[in-house]
Copies of this chain bind each other. A is one copy, B any other.
């Protein structure tokens, strides 16, 4: 399958994802088929001390790693588990999560994500594994 066509299909899929829209995320792919998830700052992302909630970083890890893996399959993949490390607190900066495929197996995919602020600080990392299903993605 043409990678550009698959990227367009996944971006379209993403834009119909309610949680992504609810939080304000936008998806793209770079020319090495890495996923790029942008998240503008917003008070709705905060925990009580008004920094970005750990759950937001986890959501970015799951999302970026999922799309970095999904672009290599014709069928839907299901998140099995993911791990999120918070390196620095962030308050009101835009975030960019870049997902990268580690391994695309027949039954399981593995991918990682790095999250930087718009100003370039590495603020969180994570990895996840994803089970390949028989459900067509289109």
- Stoichiometry, as copies per complex, reads 4
Interface membership of chain A positions 5-34, coded 1 if the CB is closer than 8 angstroms to chain B and 0 otherwise: 000000001101111001100000000000
Whether A117 sits at the interface, judged by CB under 8 Å, is no
How big is chain A's contact interface, by range? 35 or more
Nearest B residue to A81 via CB reads: B85
What's the nearest-Cβ distance from chain B to residue A79, in Å?
4
A107–B21 Cα distance when bound, in Å, is 32
Q: Which residues of A contact B (CB under 8 A)?
A: 13-14, 16-19, 22-23, 43-50, 53-56, 58-63, 66, 76, 78-89, 102-103, 105, 107-108, 110, 112, 122, 125, 127-129, 131, 135
